[in-house]
């Protein structure tokens, strides 16, 4: 059986966890959390990075920081994970879904401006498969309409757009270290704060609405409840595990890119023959090989291929059910325009196994099964 995903371990993770215990700090914001935050700040160039217990948590913090009020609207793709929309709905806001681009499956930046109303507060571009959205255009629209940009860079660690790290371009960015992502801690995430004006409040929201972080820096002489907030910080065990992964981030990314490229080269002739479409990476983007997907000609073809791969012991998976058509999406969200590409592509996309440790022989087998006439 070739699994779709297999969590990678570099080697030092468990040693680091023992170290966290030996340090005498098991709760959050100990030395491993600080090291992870510093790694993110250096790596991405963001103003401040705060480790969270998930990307979902980071998105919820971002929605609070964006000051989303009941009825406020946030523009996002429908082809995304539920957390992108949930974060807004939890504040009483309304996700406004627009269609995606057929090449990258990212939000179609040319549709954003028409979806803006007096209630619009923010735009959430989602960098699908670690391939950057058209951020120059999005930032320009946001600036002209005085909107906040929150990048959902859950899949984007180590990837760049025009040389800038994904998550470091908008006012806020969010990353995930879930076991299905490139760099992992089981569950885990981070909020990247690029607008310095939001940094102080972000710390407070993350620490249950208290000014505890300022207290520990000696900036206030007692700590107290000053704002709304929750517990968004991970414990040191998570950070200890994650730090070992961060130290190997280059090598993990290189190995994933090598696997990605092998699929891409091996499937080129099938694309030429019109049997499938391969991912498109724009000139301006350096991706991180988060995912290798193929687009088939119909839902029927996809269902048949998935079943055939399963028979051969290969676990391939489709991806998002568009949020605008999901029960909660219908209840809490709203569509702007038509969703042609979202509906079409979501039915035809299939993701192939890609994880560090997948062998060439296994990849060859997968490519062979995909190539067989159906």
Ligand X SMILES: *Cc1c(COP(=O)(O)O)cnc(C)c1O
Shortest CB 81 distance to ligand X, Å: 4
Q: Distance between CA 245 and CA 217 in Å, rounded?
A: 28
Span from 54-62, 95-103, 198-206, 233-241 in contact with ligand X (CB under 6 A): 54-62
Shortest CB 24 distance to ligand X, Å: 28
Element (H, E) at 254: helix 249-266
> What part of residues 164-183 is at the interface with ligand X (CB under 6 A)?
176, 178
- What is the rounded radius of gyration, in angstroms, for the C-alpha atoms of the chain? 21
Q: Is 108 in the site for ligand X (CB under 6 A)?
A: no
Q: Is 126 in the site for ligand X (CB under 6 A)?
A: yes
Contacts of 96 (CB under 8 A, 6+ apart): 73, 74, 75, 76, 115, 120, 333, 334, 335, 336
Smaller CB distance to ligand X: residue 168 or 363? 168
Binding mask 240-279 for ligand X (x = CB under 6 A): ----------------------------------------
Q: Is 106 in the site for ligand X (CB under 6 A)?
A: no
List the one residue from 49, 50, 51, 55 that touches ligand X (CB under 6 A): 55
Binding mask 73-92 for ligand X (x = CB under 6 A): -------xx-xx--------
- Give the SS3 label for residue 212: helix
Q: Is 212 in the site for ligand X (CB under 6 A)?
A: no
The answer to whether residues 249 and 183 touch, using CB atoms and an 8 Å cutoff, is yes
Q: Is 56 in the site for ligand X (CB under 6 A)?
A: yes
Q: Distance between CA 197 and CA 14 in Å, rounded?
A: 37
- Which of 20, 24, 27 minimizes the C-alpha distance to 207? 27
Please give the angle made by the CA atoms of 357, 311 and 355, to the nearest 5 degrees. 15
List the one residue from 35, 155, 316, 346 that touches ligand X (CB under 6 A): 155
The number of beta carbons lying within 10 Å of the beta carbon of residue 178 is 19
Q: Distance between CA 186 and CA 10 in Å, rounded?
A: 14
Interface residues with ligand X (CB under 6 A)? 54-56, 80-81, 83-84, 126, 152, 154-155, 176, 178, 189
């Amino acid at each position: 059986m070739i699994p779709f995903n297999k969590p990678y371990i570099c080697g030092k993770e468990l040693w680091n966890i023992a170290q966290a215990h030996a340090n005498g700090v098991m709760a959050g914001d100990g030395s491993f959390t600080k090291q992870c935050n510093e790694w993110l700040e250096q790596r991405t160039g963001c103003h401040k990075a705060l480790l969270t217990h998930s990307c979902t948590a980071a998105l919820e913090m971002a929605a609070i920081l964006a000051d989303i009020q009941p009825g406020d609207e946030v523009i996002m793709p429908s082809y995304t994970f539920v957390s992108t929309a949930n974060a807004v709905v939890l504040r009483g806001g309304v996700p406004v879904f627009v269609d995606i681009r057929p090449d990258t499956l990212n939000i179609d930046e040319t549709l954003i401006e028409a979806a803006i109303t007096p209630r619009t507060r923010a735009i959430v571009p989602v960098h699908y498969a670690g391939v950057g959205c058209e951020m120059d255009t999005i930032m320009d629209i946001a600036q002209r309409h005085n909107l906040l940009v929150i990048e959902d860079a859950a899949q984007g660690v180590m990837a760049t757009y025009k040389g800038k790290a994904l998550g470091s371009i908008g006012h806020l960015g969010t990353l995930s270290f879930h076991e299905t992502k490139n760099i992992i801690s089981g569950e885990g995430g981070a909020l990247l704060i690029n607008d310095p004006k939001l940094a102080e409040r972000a710390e407070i929201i993350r620490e249950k609405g208290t000014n505890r972080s300022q207290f520990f820096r000696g900036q206030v002489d007692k700590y107290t409840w000053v704002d709304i907030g929750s517990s968004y910080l991970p414990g040191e065990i998570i950070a200890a595990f994650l730090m070992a992964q961060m130290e190997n981030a280059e090598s993990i990314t290189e190995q994933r890119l090598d696997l990605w490229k092998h699929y891409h080269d091996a499937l080129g002739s099938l694309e030429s023959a019109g049997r499938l479409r391969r991912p498109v990476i724009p000139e301006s983007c350096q991706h991180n090989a988060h995912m290798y997907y193929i687009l088939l000609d119909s839902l029927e073809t996809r269902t048949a291929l998935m079943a055939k791969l399963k028979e051969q012991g290969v676990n391939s998976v489709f991806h998002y059910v568009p949020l605008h058509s999901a029960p909660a999406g219908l209840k809490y969200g709203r569509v702007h325009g038509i969703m042609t590409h979202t509906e079409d592509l979501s039915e035809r996309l299939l993701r192939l196994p890609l994880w560090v440790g997948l062998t060439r022989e296994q990849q060859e087998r997968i490519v062979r099964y995909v190539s067989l006439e159906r």
